[in-house]
A = this chain, B = another copy of it.
Amino acid sequence: MAELTYRDAVAAAIAQEMARDPSVVFLGEDIAAAGGVFKATVGLLDRFGPTRVRDTPISEQALIGAAMGAAMTGLKPIAEIMFSDFLAVCWDIIANQIAKTRYMTNGQVTMPLVIRTANGAGSRFGAQHSQSLENWAMTVPGLKVVAPATPADVVGLMAAAVRDPDPVLFFEHKSLYATKGPVPEGEWVDQLGKAKVLRIGDDVTIVALAAMVPKALAAADRLAEQHGVTATVVDVRSLVPLDTQTILREVARTGRLVTVEENPRLCGWGAEIASIASQELFYDLDGPILRVTTPHVPLPAADNLEDHVIPSVERIVREVLQAYD
C-alpha cells in the first residue's frame, strides 16, 4: 500500500488509465500546463503529451460537447469541470445530450466518458464555488454518479469509471484533496455501484457520502463513546447505480436510518434513499428516518457561517440523539 493524498490519487488514477488505453484523453481548463487549479492533475501533460492532455478555452459547453462527440466516435475522454457549480453552464450537454443519446438512438451510440469535478464546501469560496450537486446528476436518467471519500476510492472508482461504457459524473470533494490514505500498489480498479460498510453497529445506520463520511465516522465514535449508541456507517460511494442491497440490509439490521448529506435539503440523495427505505423496509423500521443536511439555503462565505450550515460532527450526534431518544 502506498500512502497518497486524495489530490495525488486523482492524477495517479488518470495516469493509470491513460497508460493502459491510448483512447483515453483528458481535457479541461488549466489542467495541462498548470496541472489544475487544485493541482490534482500535475504531471499528466509531461507524461502523456499535449495531444492527450489538452487545455481548453473557458467554454464548458464546447469542452463537454467535444468529450461527447469524441466518446461517440471511439475515444474515452475524461473532461474536467473545474468546480461542480459550473456544471450549470453546460447542463444541457450533460443532462439532455450525453445522458439521453444512447437511449434515443436505441443503443446505436455508446458514451464512455467521465466528467470529473471539484465539489463541495469548506473552502470559504462562497455560494458559487462550494455546492454539493450530486443530486443534480442523480435526477437525470442515463448518468452514473460517483463520489469517492478516500484516495483508494479515487483511484479505484476513477479506473472503474473510465472503463465503464456509460457516462459517469465523478464528484471529487475539495475539502478532501489534502487528506491522505493508503492506495493498493499496482493497477487498482474498483466497481461502480457498491457501497462500503465502514463500521458496524446495532442501533442505527448512518449513510454518508464524500466529505460527510469522515464526519459520520467521527459522529459514530462519539455516539458510542459518550452515549452508548452504536452505529453502522455506510459510505454510499456510488449514487447511480445505487447499492440498495447493502444499504437496506444494514438499515433492516439496525432498524434505523440516518442520512448525512452536504447538499441543501430538498431532493437530496438522502430523500431518495429515505423514500426507498420507507417503502421497502416499512415493517423493519424501529423509528423515524432522519436526514441531516445543509439547510435549504445558498452557502455563505465567512468561515463561521459556512461551518454553521454544513453538517458537523456535533450536529450529527445531536440530531441522531434527538431523533432516537
Contact = CB atoms under 8 A, between A and B. Distances in A.
B136 A139 contact: yes
A46 interface: no
A278 interface: yes
Interface string A285-325: 10111110000111011000000000000000000000100
A288 B280 contact: yes
A271 B279 contact: no
Contact of A282 (B271, B275, B283, B287): B287
A142 B278 contact: no
A272 interface: yes
Given A89-B92, A139-B135, A298-B142, A278 B288 contact: yes
Contact of A271 (B271, B283, B296): B271
Residue in A139, A140, A269 with the greatest tally of chain B CB atoms within 10 Å: A139
Interface residues of A, number: 54
A104 interface: yes
Interface in A234-291: 240, 263-272, 274-275, 277-280, 282-283, 285, 287-291
A211 B208 CA distance: 35
B128 A100 contact: yes
B100 A92 contact: no
A135 B92 CA distance: 16
A104 B298 CA distance: 8
Contact of A138 (B127, B267, B278): B267
Contacts of A96: 85, 88, 127-128
B272 A267 contact: yes
Interface in A76-115: 85-86, 88-89, 91-92, 94-96, 99-100, 103-104
A141 interface: yes
Contact of A298 (B99, B270, B272): B99
Contacts of A283: 288
Contact of A285 (B103, B138, B282): B282
Residue in A86, A88, A104, A277 with the greatest tally of chain B CB atoms within 10 Å: A88
A126 interface: yes
Contact of A103 (B103, B288, B289, B297): B297
Interface of A: 85-86, 88-89, 91-92, 94-96, 99-100, 103-104, 126-128, 135-136, 138-142, 240, 263-272, 274-275, 277-280, 282-283, 285, 287-291, 296-298, 300-301, 323
Closest 4 A-B residue pairs measured CB to CB? A282-B288, A274-B275, A88-B92, A278-B278
23 contacts: A88-B91, A88-B96, A91-B91, A91-B92, A103-B127, A103-B297, A103-B300, A104-B301, A136-B136, A138-B266, A141-B264, A240-B266, A267-B269, A267-B272, A271-B272, A271-B274, A275-B275, A275-B289, A279-B288, A279-B289, A279-B290, A279-B291, A282-B289
Given A140-B264, A267-B268, A279-B288, 13 more contacts: A100-B298, A104-B298, A136-B139, A141-B297, A267-B267, A267-B269, A267-B271, A267-B272, A271-B274, A274-B278, A278-B288, A279-B289, A282-B289
